[in-house]
Structure 1
Amino acid sequence: MTDASGPADDNASYLETGRLLFAKECQFVAGAATLEMLPESGLTEVAFSGRSNVGKSSLINALTNRNTLARTSNTPGRTQQINFFDLGGKLYLVDLPGHGYAKVSKEKIDTWTDLVNNYLRGRAVLRRVLLLVDARHGLKATDREVMDMLDVAAVSYQIILTKVDKSNKSDVKSLTQKIEAELAKRPAAHPEILLTSSMKGIGIEELRAELAALAEEAG
């Protein structure tokens, strides 16, 4: 008897694994404002990084089907510590303070930057950094600084384009190709760029599946 399963079945199974993982309870575990406050964890961690107001909290809420798990705000700089969320005892989702512009003092921004950079460089259980980039604006200098640091530290990162519903498809395609060409020259970059919209639900299933695969690999 031959196996009739094919690519469509494999993809459906892949997406279903992601759906099942993100159907599990997701709870806030800890907020760390200093390195000493980072929680101990044997779980795989995936960190959400990006410029202030790029949509990190909105994406976490969309992935977990919760409106208020991660706080969202139109005020850049709302996330003021590293926030850890336990997803079903399988994966830690880590919401990082935004880099770049924020409506707070330069001293506080410098403190956040040091904290985040030390976390990204030194967290052994960190499996991947999701670097969120607004599809309307593309990569900025602050994004490339983070990418440079992750390349040097050999920490895997993946570009997630956010708010793709607010740009036309041809612009998004052109931006994606441009970023792909840049990523090809970067040693720690994951080659696949995911397109998402928290508001429209675009790419959410695929990203859930991608993160579930990382959790399973570590398990």
Structure 2
Amino acid sequence: MADDASRRAVASDGEDLKAGGDAERAAALEAGRRLFAAPCAFFHAAETLAGLPAPRLPEVAFAGRSNVGKSSLLNALTGRRGLARVSATPGRTRQLIFFDLGGRLALVDMPGYGYAEAARSVKAAWQGLMFDYLRGRANLRRVVLLIDARVGFKPADEAAMALLDKAACAFQIVLTKADKVKPEPLAAIARRAVAVARGHTAALSSVLVTSAVTGQGIADLRAELASLAA
């Protein structure tokens, strides 16, 4: 069983995010539960900047390498198995996919930035629409940057974080597939993620550790995102 520290949010100083007190934490978790219990449905897909929907809700975008577990995490967050399609062929999605969560928050599924690990795959896939969206979307509140806890940071991730810094787009690192990593290596990659976040101007200082299979970290991520909702 993973240690308790790896089940909760990891703060930039290595402490868990209970600084606000148990009552405040409980309230945040309940707000997250209630938000993600609301109806959630697809409402738009865009392949061009002109095709983006009108900015009517706060948006949170989910990004990561192909096969990082993005669709599984979205399904786990919303409790809807088929909301985001889990593809057996990584890298197939080439659109921004928008989901309306209870009329309070839009979840945006971004294309994976390359099954190949080369940083050039980020530049190729995220030129144009992706970068313009990150840089110019006034209602984009945060990017959730997913990192596979089994393999850690790759050149493509570093390139993506550099683009997020350049776009001045706030992002939070979230580790996925924690159920597939033993406690000690999981704690090590969480510490590494905190150190990486410190090196990027657009990164939030906290990191979350999650598993779509066991539910680890899902309540904490819901609470984080609820704080951004309308």
Q: Report the TM-score, using the length of structure 2 for normalisation.
A: 0.85
Whether 2:211 is the aligned partner of 1:197: answer yes
Partner of 2:26: 12
The letter of the residue matching 1:202 is Q
Whether 2:166 is the aligned partner of 1:181: answer no
Unaligned runs of 5+ in 2: 1-19
Which residue, 94, 106, 109 being the options, matches 2:108? 94
SS at match of 1:214: coil
Q: Deviations over 1:104-152 (max 9, x none)?
A: xx99x93654322221121111100000000011111111111111112
Partner of 1:3: none
Whether 2:201 is the aligned partner of 1:148: answer no
**For 1:95-114, what aligned pairs fall within 5 Å after superposition?**
95-101=109-115, 110=124, 113-114=127-128
Q: Measured at CA, do residues 131 and 111 of structure 1 come closer, stay the same or move farther in structure 2, by a change above 3 Å? A: closer
Q: Deviations over 1:179-218 (max 9, x none)?
A: 2122212111101110000011111111001000111xxx
Distance 1:110 1:166 in 2: 30
Q: Measured at CA, do residues 122 and 87 of structure 1 come closer, stay the same or move farther in structure 2, by a change above 3 Å? A: same
Whether 2:143 is the aligned partner of 1:129: answer yes
Contact 2:91/2:114 (CA < 8 Å) preserved in 1?
no
Distance 1:32 1:122 in 2: 15
- Specify which structure has the bigger relative contact order, considering alpha-carbon pairs within 8 angstroms and separated by 6 or more residues: 2
Partner of 2:38: 24
SS at match of 2:215: coil
Distance 1:113 1:100 in 2: 13
Contact 2:173/2:197 (CA < 8 Å) preserved in 1?
no
Distance 2:135 2:149 in 1: 26
Distance 2:208 2:126 in 1: 27
Residue 46 (structure 1) shift: 0.3
Whether 2:169 is the aligned partner of 1:169: answer no
Partner of 1:70: 84
Q: Report the TM-score, using the length of structure 1 for normalisation.
A: 0.89
Rg larger for: 1
Distance 1:55 1:69 in 2: 14
Q: Measured at CA, do residues 166 and 111 of structure 1 come closer, stay the same or move farther in structure 2, by a change above 3 Å? A: closer
The number of aligned residues is 207
Residue 41 (structure 1) shift: 1.8
Q: Measured at CA, do residues 76 and 113 of structure 1 come closer, stay the same or move farther in structure 2, by a change above 3 Å? A: farther
Residue 67 (structure 1) shift: 0.5
Contact 2:75/2:84 (CA < 8 Å) preserved in 1?
yes
Deviant stretches of 4+, over 6 Å: none
% identical equivalent positions: 53
SS at match of 2:26: helix
Residue 100 (structure 1) shift: 1.7
Q: Measured at CA, do residues 122 and 18 of structure 1 come closer, stay the same or move farther in structure 2, by a change above 3 Å? A: same
